[in-house]
């Protein structure tokens, strides 16, 4: 297999914080790698290293077969990057922004202008092309920034959280644009904290937390790690829960159901798809048990992320700072020396870490549930 991007053992420290901790990744040519992780997981640092903006403390990286550390100038020739914060010059029009980049690539006046118009057209910015980009909406700026990364048609593209902060519609537009690019053969490394985005755009996904890869695979494989399909039944009458459970377990020998009495929900593994669903409905109906809701539920990447990291993908507001300042020792009970030495005083995160830590330990389940909801909301 030919790889558009390869990174091995990337390490980068910021003071005592390990932003990258032996990070490995690879993007086979013509595919999309989704780098999924919460804020502060090291995604942006990894992109900056791979796009020659930052030198790692250790490790090696190649883009389009060129060693990024040994020959950054040549690597820049083959890559395009669009960052988390749209790097457009707001005093320049969309056209001028793109034309300037074209000239910097030695495209020549005519070719540069033609390419700028072409990209404006492609990114649905033609009407706004001659307005200063400070008048653009957030989504338009992002598209312009992405267009800027594409001026020289780089074979390898890096997108750092391309839809963070965009409204749902702009996000959908951006996804369409990215899908088109990938169909055109561009190799793409995409970072995101949105599970849905990785699910939708990426061929392969790596889940990054605290600067290292904690899981990888296709979206389906990651979901499978959490467990297969499940049949979920909510019945109307709480008094008949036990009866319903026995009925359902009988329909699937060996299957053990979980029961949530508060919401009158029974969940059990299901590998027979709709056939199992139909049989469950029949049995419950025959017994006269009223079904309020029934369905087959496939685990989402949210579920995968929660089970892999112990915290939600978009949980930085709730607990990410605390998690980060504790370095790699998440979940351990003996990490106080590590965090105590490093973080108090640096940016206040240490304070929050110490405050948030016990809560995280003792009340983990409840908080996870809360974060889960937040993650869903953001999507």
Decide: is 26 part of the binding site for another protein (CB under 8 A): yes
Least separation in angstroms between CB 48 and another protein: 7
Specify the residue, 51 or 314, whose C-beta has the smaller distance to another protein.
51
- Rule CB under 8 A: say whether 344 interacts with another protein: no
For residue 224, with 0-12 CB atoms within 10 Å meaning exposed, 13-18 middle and 19 or more buried, which class applies?
middle
Q: How far is the CB of 96 from another protein (least distance, A)?
A: 6
Q: Tell me if 10 contacts another protein by CB under 8 A.
A: no
Which range binds another protein by CB under 8 A, 68-76, 193-201, 260-268, 318-326? 68-76
Strand-pairing partners, residue 110, are: none
Distance in angstroms (rounded) separating the CA atoms of residues 297 and 311:
21
Pick the piece of the chain touching another protein (CB under 8 A) from 23-31, 247-255, 322-330, 346-354: 23-31
CA distance 139 to 128: 13
* Per-residue contact flags (x/-) with another protein for residues 73 to 102, judged by CB under 8 A: xx-xxxxxx-x-xxxxx-xx---x---xx-
Question: Applying CB under 8 A, which part among 4-12, 228-236, 270-278, 311-319 lies near another protein?
Answer: 4-12
**Is residue 276 involved in binding another protein (CB under 8 A)?**
no
Quote the strand ranges of the chain, DSSP E.
3-14, 17-28, 32-36, 58-63, 66-67, 79-82, 156-160, 187-192, 204-209, 212-217, 230-235, 258-260, 265-269, 291-297
CB of 349 to another protein, least distance (A): 19
Radius of gyration of the chain, Cα coordinates, nearest whole angstrom: 24
Convert 110-147 into a string of H (helix), E (strand) and C (coil). HHHHHHHHHHHHHCCCCCCCCCEHHHCCHHHHHHHHHH
Give 305's contacts (C-beta < 8 A, 6+ positions apart).
36, 195, 207, 312, 313, 375
Residues in 101-140 that interact with another protein by CB under 8 A: 101, 103-106, 132
Contact residues: another protein, CB under 8 A: 1-4, 6, 8, 24-26, 28-29, 48, 51-54, 62, 64-66, 73-74, 76-81, 83, 85-89, 91-92, 96, 100-101, 103-106, 132, 145, 148-149, 152-156, 187, 204, 206, 213, 216
């Amino acid at each position: 297999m030919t790889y558009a991007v390869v990174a091995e053992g990337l390490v980068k420290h910021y003071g005592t914080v390990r932003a990258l901790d032996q990070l490995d990744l690879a993007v086979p040519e013509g595919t999309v790698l989704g780098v999924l992780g919460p804020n502060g997981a090291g995604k942006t640092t990894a992109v900056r290293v791979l796009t020659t903006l930052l030198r790692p403390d250790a490790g090696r990286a190649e883009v389009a077969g060129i060693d990024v550390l040994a020959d950054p100038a040549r690597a820049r020739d083959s890559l395009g990057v669009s960052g988390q914060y749209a790097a457009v010059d707001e005093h320049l029009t969309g056209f001028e922004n793109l034309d300037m980049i074209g000239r910097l690539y030695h495209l020549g006046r005519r070719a540069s202008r033609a390419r700028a118009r072409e990209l404006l057209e492609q990114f649905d910015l033609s009407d706004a092309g001659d307005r200063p980009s400070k008048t653009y909406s957030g989504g338009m700026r992002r598209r312009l920034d992405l267009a800027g990364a594409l001026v020289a048609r780089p074979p390898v593209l890096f997108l750092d959280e391309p839809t963070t902060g965009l409204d749902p519609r702009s996000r959908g537009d951006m996804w369409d644009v990215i899908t088109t690019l990938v169909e055109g053969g561009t190799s793409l490394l995409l970072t995101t904290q949105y599970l849905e985005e990785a699910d939708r755009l990426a061929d392969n996904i790596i889940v990054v937390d605290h600067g290292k890869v904690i899981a990888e695979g296709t979206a389906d494989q990651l979901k499978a790690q959490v467990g297969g399909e499940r049949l979920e039944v909510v019945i109307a009458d709480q008094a008949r829960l036990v009866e319903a459970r026995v009925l359902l377990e009988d329909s699937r020998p060996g299957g053990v159901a979980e029961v949530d009495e508060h919401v009158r929900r029974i969940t059990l593994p299901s590998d027979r798809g709709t056939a199992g669903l139909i049989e469950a409905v029949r049995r419950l109906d025959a017994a006269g048990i009223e079904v309020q809701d029934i369905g087959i539920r496939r685990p989402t990447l949210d579920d995968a992320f929660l089970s892999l990291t112990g915290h939600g993908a978009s949980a930085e507001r709730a607990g990410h700072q605390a998690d980060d300042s504790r370095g790699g020792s998440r979940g351990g009970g003996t990490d106080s020396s590590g965090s105590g030495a490093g973080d108090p005083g640096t940016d206040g995160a240490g304070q929050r870490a110490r405050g948030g830590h016990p809560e995280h330990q003792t009340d983990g389940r409840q908080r996870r549930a809360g974060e889960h909801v937040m993650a869903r909301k953001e999507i």
